[in-house]
Amino acid sequence: MPGNLTLEDLRAAAGRGEIDTVVACIIDMQGRLMGKRFHVANFLEHASEETHCCNYLLATDMEMFTVPGYRSTSWEAGYGDYVMKPDLATLRRIPWAEGTALVLCDVLDHHTHEEIPHSPRAMLKKMVARLRREGLVAFSATELEFFLFEESYEKLRRRNWQRMTPISPYNEDYHIFQTFREEGVMRAIRGGLFGAGIPVENTKGEAEAGQEEINVRYSDALDAADNHVLVKEGVKEIAWQHGRAVTFMAKYDHRRAGSSSHVHQSLWTDEGAPAFFDESQPHGMSALMRHYLQGLLEHAREITAFLAPFVNSYKRFTEGMFAPTKAVWSIDNRTAGFRICGENTKAIRIECRIGGADLNPYLALAAMLAAGLDGIERELPLEEEFRGDAYQAAGVREVPKTLREAADLLEGSAMLRAAFGDEVIDHYVRAARWEVEELDRVVTDWEVQRLFERA
């Protein structure tokens, strides 16, 4: 579902004094919103066409550090500008922010006005266009999990992120009484996001103390990714307004389950027919779906860096906590990396369970579409379904165990290099290796607690 404002609507709302601020955002490598807040008059007069930002925004880490080693920009190159081009189809009111609208922007070269190939939105748009040429449309939905805490971000920062209190004291999976106690925040999240044009279906308690899940209606891949980043931003902002903190870390505590972003995906024809469905075939899986799924399986290990982008992401892959450790497929089996849902119906789809809540949805979807398309183009035959407990399976394809391993696999991926170009893949290999280098450099609390006295 696109934004709920046209430029004419915005102009009229500004004239009535209802909107005075427009937030213009790009999506950075980490999936965060970065940009500027405009007075609505200036946005209408100038910035609705374009504005500018520093090109370091697509070459930093979580700390906004100017990471060395990128070809696209550097101190030597002077850190010039990118053009932020508003996609006015994403223009929307932000109900929880007084008098505010928001628009997502594409990132263009300052001189050529071509899209920056390693910008996350451009990478997904490239795969969407490739599908369109085949007469296909990708649909997707991302299920986001997160933890909600009693304390605010400010209080937890003063505690150095220690002594966090989850909003509930016990596993609240589908728990109606406990989620009733959280409604002050969760109702505001559902209502606020829906008012911003995000088709929220529901929220629920998840399988850990203080863990929540939010579900948004299936949509075309680009819209689904746009919704995903707006949901994360909205959840954080609304929770902050209520004096609460949330985290989308893949694993905030090794004793607790992690937070995922399961990605549902299917292909449809231009005429609106489900390309994954064939009632004459086993499970209702069409030949095209079987080829697509095998592409995902064959390339699962090399695309994992786009599904699990941080060192912490790999702490989530723990047996018995609903995060997969094996990249296999199975019908309605939550131990498998790829679960088939909607068996024998037009709604048949693939749920990738590998990604964590920390993924960048544009990169994750782009990588999976590239893998699936490779399977279709090569007409890869689908391997046998896995049955049983995948955690205990031996001799099957494993999810990479570390970001170091995933970065090596990403670097060596001929499929991804063909899909996006060497410079784009090298850019994200550098991002992954930097995360590993930073961990290797830093002394952790675990090391001090384990070694300070006894070493």
Q: What is the second-level CATH architecture of the domain 127-447?
A: 2-Layer Sandwich (3.30)
Q: Is pLDDT at 220 greater than 90 in this prediction?
A: yes
Q: What is the DSSP letter of 435?
A: H
**CATH code 3.10.20.70 region(s) in the chain:** 7-116
CB-side neighbour CA atoms (13 Å) of 167: 28
Q: Taking the model in full, what pTM does it have?
A: 0.96
**CATH code 3.30.590.10 region(s) in the chain:** 127-447
- 125-170 confidence digits (pLDDT tens): 999 999 999 999 999 999 999 999 999 999 999 998 989 999 998 8
Give me the CATH topology for the region 7-116: Ubiquitin-like (UB roll) (3.10.20)
Closest CA to 329 of 319, 344, 339, 315: 339
Alpha-carbon distances, residue 137 vs 133, 275, 298, 373, 422 (angstroms): 10, 9, 22, 12, 26
Give the model's pLDDT for residue 139: 97
Q: Is pLDDT at 396 greater than 90 in this prediction?
A: yes
Give the model's pLDDT for residue 172: 83
User: Would you say 262 and 141 are in contact if contact means Cβ atoms under 8 Å apart?
Assistant: no
Give the model's pLDDT for residue 315: 95
* 455 C-beta neighbours (distance < 10 Å), count: 6
Q: What is the DSSP letter of 382?
A: P
Residue type, 413: S
pLDDT interval class at 279 (50, 70, 90): very high
Q: What is the DSSP letter of 96?
A: T
- 59-118 confidence digits (pLDDT tens): 999 999 999 999 998 888 888 899 999 999 999 999 999 999 999 999 999 899 999 999
Q: Which long-range contacts (CB under 8 A, 24 or more apart) does 373-377 make?
A: 373/127, 373/130, 373/131, 373/134, 373/292, 373/295, 373/419, 374/295, 374/298, 374/299, 374/415, 374/419, 375/291, 375/292, 375/293, 375/294, 375/295, 375/296, 375/298, 376/134, 376/288, 376/291, 376/292, 376/295
Burial (0-12, 13-18, 19+ Cβ within 10 Å), 381? exposed
